[in-house]
C-alpha cells in the first residue's frame, strides 16, 4: 500500500502566511499524518496538537527484513560525523535481524578515512569498503552522508552514477536547499528519503551501544519522504530509523528539516550558547568574580545543572526549582534577554529560509583554501575553561539563576520563531531542546563549547562563528544594560513563559527520551566529536 499522507494546515496563522506572497516559503509547514503497514504508528499529544510517531526499540528488529524488502546493497557514502555511527548501527541491526543486506562504505579515492573504516570492521577484502562512485553504482540505497559542500559540488555525478530504481537517502535537507537556490531538483525517477538523527554522530553510536541491554537507546530522528516513486519509501525510511536505534521518529519535510536544522545550529545548539557564555564570562568578571568562578557560573552552569534539569524535567522546571531572590533574578534576566535574542533568531531564520545562509556556506567553502578556518579555543575564556574542567567538582556545579534566565529566554525565543513559522511541536522540541540537552551539551561539558565549534561540520561551524558574536553583542548591549539600569521585569513575558504550550510538548518528549543518559568518557576522541 502506498503510505497515506494527509496534510492539515496547522492553524489560522499558518493559513494567513500561506496567503501572503512575501511569505511563500512558509507554505511547506503543515502537520502531517502518515501510515505504515509494518510499524505501529502512534498518536501523540504535543501541547494542543496531535502528531504521529513511530516508537523505536530492538524488539522491532524482526520487522526490518520487510522494511528493507528489495534492498540488497546499502552504500554509506562518506566518513564524517553521521556516517561512522549510522553505518555501524545499520550493519549491526540488520545482522541481528537476519537481513540479507550488505552495508558498504564508499570513500573518495585516497581518503585517510579508509583506515578508520577498517578499524570498525569494514574492509576491501570483505567487499564492504571501496571508492565512493563504485559503491554508489552497486547500491540499492545510497545513504549520502558526505559534507554539505561536497554534496553541492558532486550531486550531478552522484545522480548519474546511481543505478535505475535506487533510493537516495539523506540525513540533512541541505542538498534540497541548495538545489532550490539554483533552480534545480532531484531526478524524478528515484525515491528520495531522509532520516535525520537529532544529534551528532558520536551520540547516535554511543547511545546505541549503551542501550543494547535495555531494548535500545539512541537519538530521536525525523524522517522525510521527498519522492516516493516505488510506494515503499515510507517503510524504508522508518526501517532505517529503527535500525539506527532512534527512540522515536516523527515525520517532517526536507524543506522543513533544513530550515529548522541550519537555523538551530546557529541558535541555541551552538552559535547562541557560544555567544551567551562569552558575554556572561566577561560580565561576571566585571562584577568581581575570578576568571575561574566566572566560567563556572556561565558555561559550567549551562552544560551542567541547567541542561540536566531540562533533559529530565523540562524547561519550566529550571524556573520552578528556584525560589525567593533567585527566582526574581531569573525573571530579570529572562525578560531582558528574550526580545533581543528573538530579534537575532528571527533574522537567522529569515536568512536560512531565503537561501542566503546556504549561499554563505557555499561561498565560504570556495574561500577555504585562501583563508583556512582557524581554531577559536585559544582565547582566555576557553583556556580558563580547560583548567576548570580539569579541577571540576561535578556535585557542586551551581545553577546560576541569571545564567539560567538568559539561556532559557534564548531557547524559548528560538522555539517561538519556529512555531510562528508553522513548524510542528515534534520538530521544534527536537531541534531546540532535545538535541541541545541530550546530545550536544554533554559533549560541551566534557570538552568545551569552543571545542565543539572547532570540530563541528563545515556548515555548522560557518554559521555558529558568524552568529555567536551577534548574540554576544546584543545581549551585552541590550539585555544586560536593561537589567543594570533597573528596567522592571516584563511580567507579560514571564506569564507567557509560565503558560507556554511548549512545556506540555517537552514533557511528552521527555517521556520518550533515551532510556539511558549518554556517557562521554575518555574514549571520546577529537575525531569522534563532530556534528552535522
Asked whether 55 and 432 are in contact (CB, 8 A), the reply is no
Query: How many residues can be counted in the chain?
Result: 532
pLDDT band for 3, please (50, 70, 90 cuts).
very low
With beta carbons less than 8 A apart as the criterion, state whether 216 and 57 touch.
yes
pLDDT mean across residues, the chain: 89
- Residue 16: is its pLDDT beyond 70? no
Which of 22-31, 91-100, 378-387, 405-414 has the lowest average pLDDT? Answer: 22-31
| Cα 468 to the center of its chain, rounded Å | 17
Host H or E run for residue 461: helix 458-474
pLDDT at 530 over 80: no
C-alpha cell at 380: 582566555
Please tell me the predicted confidence (pLDDT) of residue 455: 84
Could you tell me which residues come within 8 angstroms of residue 358 by beta carbon, excluding any fewer than 6 positions away?
A: 174, 177, 178, 181, 262, 352
Mean pLDDT of 300-306: 96
In this structure, are strands 221-227 and 167-170 parallel, antiparallel, or unpaired? unpaired
Helix (H) / strand (E) containing 306 = none
Residue 9 pLDDT > 70, yes or no? Answer: no
Q: How confident is the model at residue 374 (pLDDT cuts 50, 70, 90)?
A: confident
- C-alpha cell of residue 115: 583506515
In this predicted model, what pLDDT tens digit does every residue of 467-484 receive, in sequence order? 999 999 999 999 999 999
pLDDT of residue 521: 58
In the predicted structure, residue 314 carries a pLDDT above the cut 50: yes
Beta-bridge partners for 387 = none
As a whole-number percent, the residues of the chain with pLDDT over 90 amount to 74
Mean pLDDT of 337-358: 96
What are the backbone angles phi and psi of residue 420, rounded to the nearest 5°?
Answer: -70, -25
Which residue, 178, 110, 180, is CA-closest to 147? 178
How far, in Å, CA of 472 to CA of 449, rounded? 14
Read off the pLDDT of each residue in 14-23 and give the average, rounded to a whole number: 34
Distance separating alpha carbons of residues 352 and 337, to the nearest angstrom = 23
CA distance 521 to 523: 6
Instruction: Choose, from 172, 226, 364, 500, the residue flagged as catalytic.
Output: 172
Instruction: Let me know: does 90 contact 74? Beta carbons within 8 Å.
Output: yes
Q: Is pLDDT larger for residue 509 or for residue 345?
A: 345
> What is the distance between the alpha carbons of residues 58 and 93, in angstroms, rounded to a whole number?
8
Question: 157 exposed, middle or buried (CB, 10 Å; 0-12, 13-18, 19+)?
Answer: exposed
Residue 144's beta-bridge partner residues?
Answer: 77, 170
**pLDDT value at position 272?**
97
Please return the burial class of 230, using the count of CB atoms within 10 Å of its CB with bins 0-12, 13-18 and 19+: middle
Q: Is the pLDDT of residue 10 over 60?
A: no
| Per-residue pLDDT, 488 | 96
Mean pLDDT, rounded, for 379-405:
95
Measured over the CA atoms of residue 201, residue 207, residue 210 and residue 215, the dihedral's sign is negative
Residue-wise pLDDT for 406-459, tens only, equals 999 999 999 999 999 999 999 999 999 999 998 889 889 999 999 888 888 889
Rg (CA), the chain: 22
Matching residue, cell 549561499: 359
509-to-189, 250, 259, 413, 434 alpha-carbon distances in Å: 37, 11, 21, 19, 8
Q: What is the DSSP string of 40-74?
A: --EEEEETTEEEEEEE--GGGGGGHHHHTTT--EE
- Stronger pLDDT, 216 or 109, i.e. the higher one: 109
First CA to last CA distance, the chain: 34
Per-residue three-class SS string for 367-397: HCCCCCCCCCCCCHHHHHHHHHHHCCCHHHC
Contact status, residue 493 vs residue 335, Cβ threshold 8 Å: yes
Q: How far apart are CA 522 and CA 532, in angstroms?
A: 22
Confidence of residue 143 (pLDDT cuts 50, 70, 90): very high
Beta-carbon contacts of residue 239 (< 8 Å; ≥ 6 apart):
38, 39, 63, 64, 66, 67, 68
pLDDT tens, 43-68? 998 888 889 999 999 999 999 999 99
Summarised one tens digit per residue, pLDDT across range 74-123 is 999 999 889 999 999 999 999 999 999 999 999 999 999 999 999 999 99
From 26-35, 218-227, 489-498, the region with the lowest mean pLDDT = 26-35
pLDDT recorded at residue 524: 38
- The CA distance from 401 to 325, in Å, is 9
Highest mean pLDDT among 78-82, 202-206, 371-375, 408-412: 408-412
Contact 117, 105 (CB under 8 A): yes
- Whole-angstrom Cα distance, residue 2 to residue 233? 9
- For a pLDDT cut of 70, what percent of the chain falls above it? 90
pLDDT at 32: 56
Mapped onto helix, strand or coil, the DSSP state of residue 77 is strand
Q: Kindly give, in sequence order, each residue whose CB lies less than 8 Å from that of residue 415, ignoring residues fewer than 6 positions away.
A: 428, 429, 432, 433, 500, 502
Q: Annotation-wise, does 435 bind a ligand?
A: yes
Does residue 370 have a pLDDT over 90?
no
Q: What is the mean pLDDT of residues 497-503?
A: 97
User: Is residue 531 over pLDDT 60?
Assistant: no
Written as nine digits, the cell of 145 is 552522508
Q: Which residues pair with 73 in a beta bridge?
A: 102
pLDDT for 360 beyond 80: yes
In the block, cell 503558560 appears at 499
Could you give the count of Cα atoms lying within 13 Å of 45 in the half-sphere of its Cβ?
Answer: 5
Q: What domains, with CATH codes, occur in the chain?
A: 41-247 (3.40.50.720), 264-512 (1.10.1040.10)
Q: Is 265 annotated as ligand-binding?
A: yes
Which residue, among 432, 457, 468, 429, has the nearest Cα to 202 in the 3D structure?
Answer: 457
Give the per-residue pLDDT at 21: 34
Q: How confident is the model at residue 14 (pLDDT cuts 50, 70, 90)?
A: very low
What's the pTM value of the predicted model, to 2 decimals?
A: 0.88
Q: Is 323 annotated as a binding residue?
A: yes
503 is annotated as an active-site residue: no
Is 261 marked as binding a ligand? yes
**Residues 240-288: pLDDT tens digits?**
999 999 999 999 999 999 999 999 999 999 999 999 999 999 999 999 9
Nearest alpha carbon to residue 82 among 241, 200, 223 = 200
pLDDT score recorded for residue 404: 98
Q: Rounded to an integer, what is the distance from CA 456 to the centroid of its chain?
A: 12
Selected residue with higher pLDDT from 271 and 513: 271
What's residue 504's pLDDT? Answer: 92
| Residue 266, pLDDT score | 96
Amino acid at each position: 500500500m502506498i503510505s497515506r499522507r494527509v496534510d492539515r494546515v496547522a492553524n489560522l496563522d499558518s493559513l494567513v502566511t500561506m496567503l501572503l506572497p512575501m511569505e511563500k516559503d512558509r507554505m511547506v509547514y503543515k502537520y502531517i499524518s502518515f501510515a505504515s503497514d509494518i510499524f505501529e504508528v502512534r498518536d501523540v499529544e504535543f501541547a494542543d496538537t496531535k502528531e504521529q510517531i513511530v516508537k523505536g526499540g530492538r524488539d522491532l528488529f524482526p520487522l526490518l527484513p520487510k522494511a528493507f524488502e528489495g534492498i540488497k546493497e546499502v552504500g554509506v557514502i562518506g566518513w564524517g560525523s553521521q556516517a561512522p555511527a549510522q553505518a555501524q548501527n545499520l550493519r549491526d541491526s540488520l545482522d541481528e535481524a537476519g537481513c540479507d543486506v550488505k552495508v558498504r562504505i564508499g570513500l573518495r579515492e585516497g581518503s585517510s578515512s579508509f583506515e578508520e573504516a577498517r578499524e570498525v570492521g569494514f574492509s576491501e577484502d570483505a567487499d564492504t569498503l571501496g571508492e565512493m562512485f563504485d559503491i554508489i553504482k552497486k547500491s540499492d540505497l545510497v545513504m549520502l552522508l558526505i559534507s554539505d559542500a561536497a554534496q553541492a559540488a558532486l550531486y550531478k555525478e552522484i545522480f548519474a552514477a546511481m543505478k535505475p530504481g535506487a533510493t537516495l537517502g539523506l540525513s540533512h535537507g541541505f542538498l534540497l536547499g541548495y538545489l532550490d537556490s539554483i533552480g534545480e531538483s532531484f531526478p524524478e525517477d528515484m525515491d528520495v528519503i531522509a532520516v535525520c538523527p537529532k544529534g551528532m554522530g558520536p551520540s547516535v553510536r554511543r547511545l546505541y551501544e549503551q542501550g543494547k541491554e535495555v531494548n535500545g537507546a539512541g537519538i530521536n530522528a525525523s524522517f522525510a519522504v521527498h519522492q516516493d516513486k516505488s510506494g515503499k519509501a515510507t517503510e524504508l525510511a522508518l526501517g532505517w530509523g529503527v535500525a539506527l536505534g532512534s527512540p522515536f521518529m516523527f515525520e517532517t519535510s526536507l524543506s522543513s528539516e533544513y530550515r529548522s536544522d541550519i537555523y538551530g545550529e546557529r541558535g541555541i545548539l551552538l552559535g547562541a550558547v557560544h555567544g551567551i557564555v562569552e558575554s556572561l564570562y566577561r560580565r561576571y568578571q566585571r562584577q568581581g568574580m575570578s576568571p575561574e568562578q566566572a566560567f563556572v557560573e556561565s558555561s559550567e552552569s549551562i552544560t551542567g545543572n541547567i541542561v540536566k534539569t531540562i533533559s529530565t524535567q523540562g524547561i519550566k522546571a529550571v524556573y520552578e526549582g528556584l525560589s525567593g531572590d533567585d527566582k526574581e533574578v531569573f525573571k530579570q534576566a529572562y525578560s531582558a534577554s528574550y526580545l533581543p535574542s528573538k530579534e537575532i533568531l528571527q533574522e537567522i531564520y529569515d536568512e536560512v529560509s531565503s537561501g542566503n545562509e546556504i549561499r554563505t556556506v557555499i561561498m565560504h567553502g570556495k574561500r577555504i583554501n585562501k583563508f583556512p578556518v582557524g581554531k577559536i579555543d585559544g582565547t582566555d575564556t576557553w583556556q580558563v575553561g580547560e583548567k576548570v574542567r580539569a579541577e571540576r567538582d561535578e556535585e557542586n556545579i551551581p545553577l546560576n539563576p541569571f545564567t539560567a534566565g538568559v539561556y532559557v529566554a534564548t531557547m524559548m525565543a528560538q522555539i517561538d520563531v519556529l512555531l510562528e513559522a508553522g513548524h510542528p511541536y515534534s520538530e521544534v522540541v527536537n531541534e531546540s531542546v532535545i538535541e541541545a540537552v541530550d546530545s550536544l551539551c554533554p559533549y560541551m561539558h566534557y570538552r568545551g563549547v569552543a571545542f565543539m565549534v572547532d570540530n563541528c561540520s563545515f556548515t555548522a561551524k560557518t554559521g555558529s562563528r558568524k552568529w555567536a558574536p551577534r548574540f554576544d553583542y546584543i545581549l551585552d548591549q541590550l539585555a544586560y544594560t536593561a537589567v543594570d539600569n533597573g528596567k522592571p521585569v516584563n511580567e507579560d513575558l514571564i506569564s507567557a513563559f509560565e503558560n507556554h504550550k511548549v512545556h506540555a510538548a517537552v514533557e511528552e518528549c521527555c517521556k520518550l527520551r533515551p532510556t539511558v543518559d549518554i556517557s562521554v568518557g575518555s574514549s571520546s576522541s577529537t575525531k569522534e566529536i563532530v556534528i552535522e
